[in-house]
């Protein structure tokens, strides 16, 4: 299992593109590792409910390991190390991350992985954000903005699909098109490595106070659409409709 890895997973476009690139390079991804708030049962920062992340992993066909963490960031490193150490016993020697240019987090990853004797894989590191997001779109991925800083983007951006029009708008406003500084977060609902796709049927933007004022998309109802390959096209069936409430 010399080329077996786990992938750090937020459910957003950067972790998804990093996963995609790692898989293309020949790395076998055994697990997605996701951290959620112990208090709210939602993905840290993105605000996505844990069961939606679980559904996303099922649509990808990759096993998900989901760990609860406290709000105390000082304890996060210990909790992170415990989670990775448990998985190392299965012959895993690499971990994929979606960092782009934030040196502080990149350095943290390098140090912690060294202490765990696991090799960090950073497929997106120091790639131009505008090129990365356009590669993501061109590959056929579909992602929805689910969180945005109120003082940077605001309510109007919540629920928007990340497409060329949005990218140009962000560039014109001098905002990182990948949201690397936390300007926004996304949730991937479809793409070339998805066996099934998620369609959001009902949602509501909600203003929240936290580390900063931000809008997030409360996804209330969704459905999974099966993707069947028949010759040159695909047909969609609707096996289930789920309400979050």
What superfamily does domain 4-243 belong to in CATH? HUPs (3.40.50.620)
* pLDDT tens per residue across all 245 residues of the chain: 578 999 999 999 999 999 999 999 999 999 999 988 655 555 556 568 888 999 999 999 999 999 877 766 678 889 999 999 999 988 899 999 999 999 999 999 999 999 999 999 999 999 999 999 999 999 999 999 999 999 899 899 999 999 999 999 999 999 999 999 989 999 999 999 999 999 999 999 989 876 678 898 999 999 999 986 433 333 333 334 444 43
Q: Using CA atoms, how far apart are residues 123 and 126, in angstroms rounded to an integer?
A: 9
Helix (H) or strand (E) run with residue 104 in it: helix 103-116
Which is nearest to 9 in space by CA: 26, 27, 25, 30? 30
Q: Is the pTM of this model over 0.95?
A: no
């Amino acid at each position: 299992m010399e080329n077996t890895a786990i992938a750090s997973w937020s459910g957003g476009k950067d972790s998804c593109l990093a996963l995609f690139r790692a898989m293309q390079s020949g790395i076998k991804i055994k697990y997605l590792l996701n951290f959620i708030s112990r208090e709210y049962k939602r993905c840290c920062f993105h605000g996505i409910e844990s069961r939606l992340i679980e559904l996303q992993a099922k649509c990808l066909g990759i096993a998900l390991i989901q760990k609860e963490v406290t709000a105390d960031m000082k304890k996060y490193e210990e909790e992170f190390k415990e989670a990775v150490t448990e998985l190392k016993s299965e012959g895993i020697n690499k971990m994929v991350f979606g960092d782009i240019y934030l040196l502080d987090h990149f350095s943290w990853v390098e140090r912690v992985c060294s202490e765990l004797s696991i090799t960090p894989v950073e497929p997106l590191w120091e790639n131009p954000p505008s090129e990365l997001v356009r590669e993501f779109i061109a590959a056929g991925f579909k992602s929805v903005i689910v969180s945005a800083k109120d003082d940077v983007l605001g309510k109007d951006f919540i629920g928007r699909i990340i497409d060329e029009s949005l990218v140009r708008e962000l560039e014109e406003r001098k905002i990182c098109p990948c949201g690397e500084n936390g300007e926004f977060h996304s949730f991937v609902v479809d793409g070339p490595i998805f066996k099934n796709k998620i369609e959001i049927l009902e949602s509501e933007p909600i203003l929240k106070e936290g580390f900063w004022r931000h809008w997030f998309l409360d996804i209330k109802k969704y459905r999974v659409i099966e993707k069947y390959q028949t010759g040159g096209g695909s047909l969609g069936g609707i096996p289930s409709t789920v309400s979050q409430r």
